[in-house]
Amino acid sequence: MEIKRALVVAAHPDDDILGVAGFMNKYKNDIQFRVIFIAEGTTCRFDNVDSQLASAEIQRRNNCGINALKHVGVTECEFYNLPCGRLDQVDQLVINKIIESEIELFKPDTVFTHSTCDSNKDHHKVYDATIIATRPGSGVRSVLSYEVLSSTEWGFAKAFTPNVFVSLSYEDVQTKWKALSCYESEIEEFPHPRSKEGIMTLAKLRGMQSSTLYAEAFQLVRHCI
């Protein structure tokens, strides 16, 4: 599977790092990446989503997203800041059109998006929109789902079953952790999955499944040869 231009579609800032940071770091000199964030990832924690405090937190998180991507060599990104935790209240067509316009602009051959296994409903909405936007005729050759710690493995009713494994170096995994660390409010102590040990444990598990030390895993949704 040759990839030259990859679009990463994330529901919230930090989903991209949890799902694809190792891959982006490994191929930062070989693949052109662009990351888009559909929702802002913050206001679900505020009673007044229109307050100045909420607005400031949205901007702070966006800045975290920019800084995190710099760790893996990615500078192309866009924040659409739709309401966090409320994408089910946004017309599906709105999200479809955002992704379709990004595909038309960036012309990726490969798109990474969320998994249907995730417990987070915003992730499901983004997955559905991505599938519509990448339908045959869109110019996208491959679509892959990535896993997000503390969401994909917490879906429980449906297990993530990866069929594409990308081997990572120790440095790739450490860089992924450094990138995630830009989101200080999202970091927890082990055994919470959003911890340094959690990142390393998943990388080792996916590596063990694919006969390498460390790996990131994806589920191939569609590939056109």
How far apart (Å, rounded) are the C-alpha atoms in residues 8 and 116? Answer: 16
Instruction: Answer for the pair 180, 187: CB distance below 8 angstroms, yes or no.
Output: yes
Check residue 48 and give its pLDDT: 65
Return the closest-CA partner of residue 8 out of 82, 87, 72, 54.
Answer: 72
Kindly list the structural domains of the chain, giving each domain's residue range(s) and its CATH number in brackets, ordered by start. Answer: 5-223 (3.40.50.10320)
pLDDT tens-digit series, residues 157-173: 899 999 999 999 999 99
How far apart (Å, rounded) are the C-alpha atoms in residues 14 and 21? Answer: 10
- pLDDT confidence bin for 219, thresholds 50/70/90: very high
Task: Flag whether pLDDT at 207 surpasses 90.
Answer: yes
pLDDT tens-digit series, residues 82-121: 999 899 999 999 999 999 999 999 999 999 999 999 999 9
What is the side-by-side strand order in the sheet with 110-113?
77-82, 32-39, 5-10, 110-113, 142-146, 214-223, 164-168
pLDDT tens-digit series, residues 112-148: 999 999 999 999 999 999 999 999 999 999 999 999 9
